[in-house]
């Protein structure tokens, strides 16, 4: 904290008021409402709600579709993190290596970051459509790809659609991380270790741990929340709900099914998951990373 | 010689990466300049056709939607208002809140800190229906205000500004106080000019974030007058080449902003590392 500060006075509240006001009305009020929804059940005509304790939670735990969505969300986050992280790192290392054209490569690789997930999904649609989708036909010729029916194939579809633009984000952060490593460290390691492959894994990669860790969180958040637009414009959950993320399922139950109690309970479950990931981040991983 | 081989290898990998990024978008763009019957017969195209003006003008000016009340041009206008609103509102409120958190000796500072930052853990997707009912209760459905404000209820920029203010040397405030600057003058004349890079980076980030919103506009706009570009993708009907043209146009604004302003963006986001 600062040693020199202004004394507490009414003016501090003027500075805090706009953000606090917006957060209280448009964030805290809805969150309180979410908890209310989660512990009550609407009657059939929407006139009233009764307090039902944990019934809504018990219902979602009884619902096989919830576990299908849960399983998919975990697999999806893991695979997207792995794919986009490793391709992003590979590209960043090469871009950091080259003498000429570094900034051109950078420009040509970062722009997909700006495209909306929903737009990426609509584009992916064209490449996976049965009629003229190039990837659909390529994969179909290879192993009879058919995402309308095969769960595995629908996974491939949404994983490719979900990974494409996220490679850019990983690339930007890894490149920045690489450029922040001091030249002297790299030069010293070049004398000690001639094998550039081993040098990377023993010297450079450990120094990139803070970036890697940060990106894992970014990628998981992306797979959890931002992929809504991708799912909604590609498989819409096809073949039969196997490619619905938890967010997508909660939305569908609330919107299509008008089951606000279940949607509320599902939201609270997700808040808990996010909370666990965050605590894990602070407690476990942060302690094990060596910052340079 | 080995130097030449490793660097050629790097260039090769980078070229493959660029192809993976560019080719899909290029093919949709090339296809959008053909006629629908051409696409229906021969699939996606690699080379440009000659219906560019015809297709793009039609998409921009065509009255679409269920009630034929909206053109793509109007959607771009709406998206622009929404993205600009989100960027300005969230950056201004975050700048101010971070200032109070760092530069005041506040009672219950820790509590305030948590009230603000715990919100990062609850993205809009987790409170989407209750937020909608709040908006309905406040009569804000189908308004620019309704599109902008819930998206701006975010403390991410506050976190960045707070980190940045903490790196500003204490001497700055000391000397400003000697010059007789009060809290407002110090904020406006000293701190804001100093945070310019960070402000630009956050404006870009929040603009793209606002422009790319999909679920919220879908829910909060029942009147076609307020449709935005990204949600409009799902709503607009039309033949296949018109859809291609719409997809391509929808990605132009954020891509242009990121490419043109990439130096500021990257400098601002990474300066405290």
Domains of chain B plus CATH, in order, are 70-237 (1.10.3720.10)
- Is the predicted ipTM greater than 0.95, yes or no? no
Residue B254 contacts A where some CB pair is shorter than 8 Å = yes
Q: Measuring CA to CA, which residue among B192, B85, B127 is closest to residue A27?
A: B127
Contact of A247 with A162, CB cutoff 8 Å: no
Is A22 within a domain?
A: no
| Cβ–Cβ gap B10/A97 under 8 Å | yes
Structural domain tally of chain A?
A: 1
Q: How many angstroms separate the CA of residue B131 from the nearest CA in chain A?
A: 5
Q: Closest-CA residue in chain A for B235?
A: A233
Q: What is the pLDDT of residue A292?
A: 44
Is A29 within a domain?
A: no
Q: What is the pLDDT of residue A46?
A: 63
Distance CA A245, CA A222 (A): 12
Is A176 within a domain?
A: yes
Sign of CA dihedral A254, A257, A258, A264: negative
Is A10 within a domain?
A: no
Over its length of 273 residues, how does chain B's per-residue pLDDT go in tens digits? 567 777 888 999 999 999 999 999 999 999 999 998 888 888 889 999 888 998 898 888 877 666 667 888 899 999 999 999 999 999 999 999 999 999 888 888 888 888 888 888 888 988 899 999 999 999 999 999 999 999 998 888 998 899 889 888 888 888 888 888 888 889 999 899 999 989 999 999 999 999 999 999 999 998 888 999 999 888 777 788 999 999 999 999 999 999 998 888 877 777 643
For the domain that residue A93 is a member of, what is the CATH number?
Answer: 1.10.3720.10
Is A12 within a domain?
A: no
Is A3 within a domain?
A: no
Residue B153 contacts A where some CB pair is shorter than 8 Å = yes
Q: Closest-CA residue in chain A for B157?
A: A19
Q: Specify the DSSP class assigned to residue A222.
A: I
| Domain, as residue range, for A239 | 66-288
Distance CA A99, CA B169 (A): 37
Residue A203 exposed, middle or buried by CB count within 10 Å (0-12, 13-18, 19+): middle
C-alpha distances out from residue A7 to A203, B34, B103, Å: 47, 67, 9
Q: How many CB pairs under 8 A join A and B?
A: 255
Is A6 within a domain?
A: no
Q: Which of A37, A119, A255 sits opposite B247 (nearest CB)?
A: A119
| Cβ–Cβ gap B102/A2 under 8 Å | yes
pTM for this one? 0.92
Residue B255 contacts A where some CB pair is shorter than 8 Å = yes
| Cβ–Cβ gap B115/A105 under 8 Å | no
| B266: chain A residues, CB-CB within 8 Å | 172, 176
| Cβ–Cβ gap B155/A23 under 8 Å | yes
Is A9 within a domain?
A: no
| A12: chain B residues, CB-CB within 8 Å | 100, 104, 106
Q: What is the pLDDT of residue A217?
A: 87
Residue B45 exposed, middle or buried by CB count within 10 Å (0-12, 13-18, 19+): buried
Q: How many angstroms separate the CA of residue B185 from the nearest CA in chain A?
A: 12
Q: pLDDT averaged over consecutive 10-residue blocks of chain A (292 residues)?
A: 74 91 94 91 72 88 93 96 96 90 90 95 93 90 91 95 96 91 81 81 88 89 93 91 93 83 92 86 64 48
């Amino acid at each position: 904290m600062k040693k020199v500060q202004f004394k507490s006075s009414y003016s501090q509240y003027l500075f805090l008021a706009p953000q606090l006001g917006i957060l209280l009305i448009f964030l805290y009020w809805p969150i309180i409402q979410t908890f209310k929804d989660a512990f009550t059940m609407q009657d059939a005509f929407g006139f009233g709600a009764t307090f039902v304790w944990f019934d809504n939670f018990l219902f979602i735990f009884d619902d096989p579709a919830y576990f299908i969505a849960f399983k998919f969300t975990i697999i999806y986050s893991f695979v997207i993190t792995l794919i986009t992280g490793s391709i992003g790192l590979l590209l960043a290392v090469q871009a950091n290596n080259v003498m000429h054209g570094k900034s051109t490569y950078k420009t040509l690789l970062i722009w997909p970051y700006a495209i909306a997930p929903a737009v990426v999904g609509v584009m992916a649609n064209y490449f996976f459509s049965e009629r003229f989708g190039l990837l659909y036909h390529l994969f179909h010729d290879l192993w009879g790809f058919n995402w309308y029916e095969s769960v595995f194939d629908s996974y491939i579809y949404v994983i490719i659609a979900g990974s494409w633009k996220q490679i850019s984000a990983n690339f930007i952060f890894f490149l920045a991380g690489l450029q922040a490593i001091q030249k002297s460290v790299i030069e010293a390691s070049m004398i000690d270790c001639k094998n550039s492959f081993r040098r990377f894994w023993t010297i450079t990669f450990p120094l990139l741990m803070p970036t890697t860790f940060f990106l894992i969180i970014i990628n998981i958040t992306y797979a959890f929340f931002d992929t809504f637009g991708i799912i909604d414009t590609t498989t819409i959950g096809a073949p039969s709900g196997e490619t619905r993320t938890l967010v997508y399922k909660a939305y569908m139950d609330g919107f299509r099914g008008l089951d606000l109690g279940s949607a509320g309970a599902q939201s609270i479950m997700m808040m808990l998951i996010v909370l666990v990931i965050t605590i894990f981040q602070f407690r476990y991983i942060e302690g094990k990373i060596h910052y340079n | 010689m080995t130097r030449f081989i490793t660097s050629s290898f790097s260039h090769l990998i980078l070229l493959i990466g660029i192809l993976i990024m560019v080719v899909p978008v290029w093919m949709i763009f090339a296809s959008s300049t053909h006629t629908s019957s051409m696409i229906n017969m021969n699939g996606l195209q690699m080379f440009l056709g000659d219906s560019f003006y015809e297709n793009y003008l039609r998409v921009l000016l065509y009255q679409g939607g269920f009630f034929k009340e909206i053109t793509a041009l109007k959607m771009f206008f709406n998206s622009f208002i929404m993205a600009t609103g989100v960027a300005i509102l969230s950056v201004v409120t975050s700048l101010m809140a971070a200032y109070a958190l760092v530069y005041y000796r506040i009672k219950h500072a820790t509590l305030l800190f948590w009230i603000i930052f715990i919100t990062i853990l609850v993205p809009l997707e987790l409170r989407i229906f209750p937020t909608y009912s709040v908006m309905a209760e406040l009569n804000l459905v189908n308004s620019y205000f309704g599109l902008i404000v819930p998206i701006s209820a975010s403390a991410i920029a506050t976190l960045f500004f707070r980190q940045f203010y903490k790196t500003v040397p204490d001497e700055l405030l000391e000397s400003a106080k000697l010059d007789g600057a009060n809290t407002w003058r110090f904020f406006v004349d000293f701190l804001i000019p100093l945070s310019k890079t960070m402000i630009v980076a956050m404006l870009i980030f929040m603009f793209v974030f606002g422009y790319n919103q999909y679920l919220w506009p879908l829910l909060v706009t029942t009147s076609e007058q307020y449709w935005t570009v990204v949600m409009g993708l799902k709503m607009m009907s039309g033949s296949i080449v018109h859809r291609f043209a719409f997809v391509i146009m929808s990605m132009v604004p954020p891509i242009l902003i990121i490419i043109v302003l990439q130096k500021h963006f990257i400098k601002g986001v990474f300066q405290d590392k």
